[in-house]
Amino acid sequence: MGLRFGILMLICLWLPLSGNAEFYRYKDENGALRFTDNLAEVPEDQRPYVRNYKEESDFLSPEEQERKAEQEVEKKQQEKVKVRETRKNELAESGKHLGKQGKELDKERAGLMKIRDALDKEKQGLKTRADRREYQSKVIRLNEQITAFEKKRKVFQKEVDIFNSQLEKNKGKE
């Protein structure tokens, strides 16, 4: 009787040790690959063909698991730093690009103002009807150029606003 009780106790203690963390891969009714740790979720027709996988960490000692967890935390921190640096570099590049665009727009505006000043001076020297028509056509072209410039400036201003909001978000995350 004592021997039976002893064997029963050994079996009861041994069974939980065999409960490894296994997971199974199968295809669902839509053909998508699924993973589960419950064999009952695998369709019966696929159970003979299902493969079980063991976690890599199942074979590690507690010290190795702790070291692995520390490495994962360190890796995540390094990835965060890398993402932050990448974001800073992208913002710096965007800032340089916007600075160049702003200078180009300033040059274009200065050129348009020179043309306008020249047309103002030319207006005083108009004597014939042909001169006035030519002057009017120049004014119309200048107005079209100014309209196109204003569109460019509005697009540029939107880009600057987006850049500034991204800059504020980035400062808030640091």
Quick one: 55 and 130 in the same domain? no
Quick one: 90 and 132 in the same domain? yes
| Average pLDDT of the segment spanning 36-47 | 78
| Average pLDDT of the segment spanning 55-66 | 70
Q: Does residue 111 sit within a domain? A: yes
What is the per-residue pLDDT for 113? 94
Quick one: 23 and 100 in the same domain? no
* Per-residue pLDDT tens digits for 74-120: 988 998 888 888 888 888 898 899 999 999 999 999 999 999 999 88
Quick one: 144 and 77 in the same domain? yes
User: Has this prediction a pTM greater than 0.85?
Assistant: no
Quick one: 44 and 115 in the same domain? no
Quick one: 44 and 82 in the same domain? no
Sheet strands (E) in the chain:
22-27, 33-36, 51-54
Domain containing 28 equals 18-59
Average pLDDT across the chain, whole number: 82
Taking residue 159's Cβ as centre, other Cβ atoms within 10 Å add up to: 15
Q: Does residue 28 sit within a domain? A: yes
Q: Is 61 left (phi over 0), alpha (psi -120 to 50) or beta?
A: beta
Quick one: 49 and 92 in the same domain? no
Phi/psi at 104 (5° precision): -65, -40
Q: Does residue 151 sit within a domain? A: yes
Q: What is the CA radius of gyration of the chain?
A: 37
Quick one: 71 and 139 in the same domain? yes
Quick one: 23 and 89 in the same domain? no
Quick one: 40 and 87 in the same domain? no
Q: Does residue 6 sit within a domain? A: no
Reported as a pLDDT band with limits 50, 70 and 90, residue 157 is very high
Quick one: 86 and 117 in the same domain? yes
| CA separation for the pair 138, 25 (Å, rounded) | 75
What is the per-residue pLDDT for 39? 76
Q: Does residue 8 sit within a domain? A: no
* Per-residue pLDDT tens digits for 131-145: 889 999 999 999 999
Domain count, the chain: 2
Quick one: 30 and 71 in the same domain? no
Phi/psi at 22 (5° precision): -110, 150
